[in-house]
Each structure stands twice: as structure tokens, then as C-alpha cells.
Amino acid sequence: MCVPAAMAASAGSSAPTPAPAPAPKPRPTHGVLFEAVRVFDGTAEQLTEPMQVLVVGNRIVQLSAEPIPPPAELELTRIQGAGRTLMPGLIDAHTHVMYATLSQQAILTSDLGFLNVAATKAAADMLMRGFTSIRDLGGPVFGLKRGIDLGLVPGPRIWPAGAFISQSGGHGDFRLPTELPAAPDAFSFSERVGAAVIADSPDAVRKRAREQLALGASQIKLMAGGGVASSYDPLDVTQYTVPELRAAVEAAENWGTYVAVHAYTPRAVRQAIEAGVASIEHGQLLDEATVRLIAEQDLWWSLQPFIDDQPSPYAEGSMNRRKQLAMYAGTDRAYWLAKQFGVKTAWGTDILFNAENAKRQGAKLAAMTRWYTPAEALRMATADNAELLALSGPRSPYEGKLGVVEEGALADLLLVDGNPLEDLSLVADPASNFLVIMKDGWIYKNSLTSPDPPPASPRADSPESR
């Protein structure tokens, strides 16, 4: 019988079989215990009495008025709240992080590498302002989101729409006049980098929506009416037809998610509602009948506190500035109508093209006391906005409940030096008033210790979110 050499060597060897290597010792789970904090849970009108809140991993596991004994095998960080306010991380329901801090000219003339560098800093700054989640409604943000989710750079959770979809001459058409008429199958710079896509038929809209979903969009964004930043379209124009809008809605619904539309006027919004969209963005020029229809259809109205209280990126007297002022003039009435008819109202900033305005993200939330109580405004920027994020259903990039402080919820938390239910202006100065900023159970800021530890973040080899 022929015996393979390896077997023969093994059979003739008297060397002992090596013992199996010992199993690696499991790493302790990290945890954070907030002690003696008064809690705004995302919905209540008042803070709780002093509580203890235990975070294990990325979840809130226990709230108690009594001392909480930490579980064994837990690497625990204790944070003495001393009666300060623990609240959910803030959520901005309408952002464009790729476009927030650069001028419009810089965005249209810079390569994508530079835009990503600027956006990486913008995202980190946003997190340090206490915004732990954002709904990004247009821009080439997929790469930035992936880097944040892998822990390569700090930043908020991102619900991306990808490129916004626009008709020719619509709010998302940033081609130069010299590029029109466009050659067949010619793609503009904005299209090539994934910022905006042009689609002029139901089939084209359907294709572009499917492309964004394939790339990881959690919702689809269409331009359904005129806008301020665009050069071709007056504010009052209606864009797209019902069949075109419906094509995007069908594509999104087939993926278990929804369409949000940019629109200001009654005609644009009514057409979008007929097509089946789920979220109206802006709407500052709506009339009473259209707002009543939004309420009857139980749709979301994502409003922004657009008032003339900040530097404008547009020159006085320019067409864009005139459109901006006309839109600003409708903001007070829009919020009044939203309250009158009990519309599900989301809060966002839609900051564009201005680094100084981006720094005022929290101030835009504080400005909501012009129309709402501090508790109402904070509920909108936490629990209510989280409900809108959940509308993405299975396309949501993150599993778990946000916008609340309750057992089982994701640990996105802020420790505030003061009571924002009494003084909402606290959120306008996050550097001074947000003492602890936590996202997904990791502490990114803790000014109660000295010196500040480096931001903790997930390891680069942690599982990647979609």
C-alpha cells in the first residue's frame, strides 16, 4: 500500500499534539452612567426629577430615580450631571452637508475631492453643535456617510437622498447657459459628481430615482417648483407633471421608502400630493386650502425658519435675493397655518453656501420660539424629526429608535448646562452649553473632565452601516 509522505511522517512521529490555544478573553463592554440628571425625553413638557441613566454599548438600557449598580464586566465612565439636562441628540431634517459651508461658485468650480474635504469638516462641526442625525436632501454625500459610519471621521448619522432630481430649467439645473441645449446623453458637472440629475420624462425620472436607491438613498428628493438658489426658474413656477412625479413615487414605494419634494406654491404642492409624495419641503407660500389638504392626507410638512436674520449669500437687488425675500415673507403665515391645522411639522435649516450661517444651526432652532414654546420646538427637533426619519422604513441606514431618552433607544445624547425648556437660547451656544455630546454610545465631547479626551469613535473594522 502506498502511504502519502505527509501521512507517513505523521505516523512515525512521536511528537505530542500541541494543546489548543486558549480562547481570547472577551473585551469588556463599554458603558456610561449619567448620574443626577434631569431628563427631557423628547416629548414631555417638563424635565424629570434627578435620574440615573445607564448606557451600555450604543443603547440606553436603564433609567431610574434610584442608584443603578453597573453590570459586571463593564468598562464604566461616570458622568456627574449635578441636576443638568440630559436630552436626545438634535436632528436636522433638511440639510445639504456637502453644500453648507462653501460658496455656490466654489461648489460649481471645484473638484469633488475638495468638496469632500470641506464637507468632512462641516460634518464634524455639525456633530459638535449637538446634531447627531441629519436628513441630507441632495448632494454627493454617500462617501462621507460611509466614512462616518466606519468611524474614519466624526459626524452625524446621515439619511442620504443622493442627487436631487430636476427637470431641465428646474431648481436643480445648474448648467451654464452655454451648455444649453444639451447634447443627447451629455452629462453636466453636477450630474457627473452625483449632485443633481436632469430627467424630463416619467421613464427618465424613474431611472434616475432607481439609480439613487441603488447607491443607498434612504429617500428620494425631487424639485417640484421654483427655488431661490437656481438661476433659470422664477419662484412661482410649477415643475414636473403628475406622471413624472408619480414615477419617482412608484420607484421609492417599491423600495419601501418615499419621495420628498422641494415646493413653495399651492399648485406645485397640490400636484405633488396628487402624485403621492410623503413630505413637502419648504412651502412658505402655501394657502389655507392647501395646508388643510396636507393635514387631511396626514403628510409631513418640513418647514424651515426662514427669516431675514442672517447674512445672505446673494447680492442685494439680484434675482436670487429678490426670490429669497419673497419666500421669507411667507414664513410667519406658514408656521401659523401649520399650527392651525395640526400638520405633522418637521424642523430643518437648509443652510447653503455660507460657513458663518452654518455655525448658527443651533440659533435657527432657538429662533423657533417666535412660533412655538421651547418644549414644542425641541420635540420637533428630536422625537418628531425622528418619526420622519423612520418613514424610510427598511431603507433607513440605522436600526433603533432615535429622538427620545427611553430604555432601548439608541444612545444619542446631550448633557446641557441649564434647562432648554425654559431657555431655548442655550442651544444657540453649543460650545459653552453642551457639556457632553454622545452619538451611538460614544462620547465625542466631555468638558466635565480635564483635559478633554480624544473623541471616542467606532473602530475602523466595525460593521459598516449600509
The one-letter amino acid at 405: V
456: Cβ–Cβ under 8 A, 6 or more apart, which residues?
442, 443, 444
Question: Which of 466, 458, 440 has its CA nearest to residue 132?
Answer: 440
What is the reported pLDDT for 6? 42
pLDDT digit string (tens) for 51-93? 999 999 999 999 999 999 988 888 999 999 999 999 999 999 9
User: Confidence class of residue 1 from pLDDT cuts 50, 70 and 90?
Assistant: very low
- Scored b (16 or more CB within 10 A) or e, 315-334 reads eeeeebeebbebbbebbeeb
pLDDT digit string (tens) for 170-216? 998 888 787 788 877 778 878 888 889 999 999 999 999 999 999 99
Length of the chain: 466
Range name among 270-279, 313-322, 406-415 with the lowest pLDDT average: 313-322
What is the reported pLDDT for 183? 73
pLDDT digit string (tens) for 270-313? 999 999 999 999 999 999 999 999 999 999 999 999 998 888 88
pLDDT at 223 over 80: yes
Range name among 112-126, 179-193, 218-232, 278-292 with the lowest pLDDT average: 179-193
Question: Which of 350, 354, 361 has its CA nearest to residue 125?
Answer: 361
pLDDT at 17 over 80: no
Which residue's C-alpha cell is 437622498? 161
181: preceding bond cis by omega (within 30 degrees): yes
C-alpha to C-alpha distances, 436 to 20, 377, 408, 455, nearest whole angstrom? 45, 21, 20, 11
Distance CA 321, CA 454 (A): 42
pLDDT at 3 over 70: no
The one-letter amino acid at 2: C
pLDDT at 5 over 90: no
pLDDT at 222 over 60: yes
Regarding pTM above 0.85, the answer is yes
Sequential DSSP letters for 375-425: HHHHHIIIIIHHHHHGGGGGG-SS-S--SS-STTSB--EEEESS-TTT-GG
Distance CA 37, CA 231 (A): 50
Using DSSP's 3-state secondary structure scheme, residue 184 falls into: coil
For 417-440, what is the mean pLDDT?
98
For 413-432, what is the mean pLDDT?
98
Question: Which of 30, 26, 133, 1 has its CA nearest to residue 443?
Answer: 30
Using DSSP's 3-state secondary structure scheme, residue 222 falls into: strand
For 134-156, what is the mean pLDDT?
97
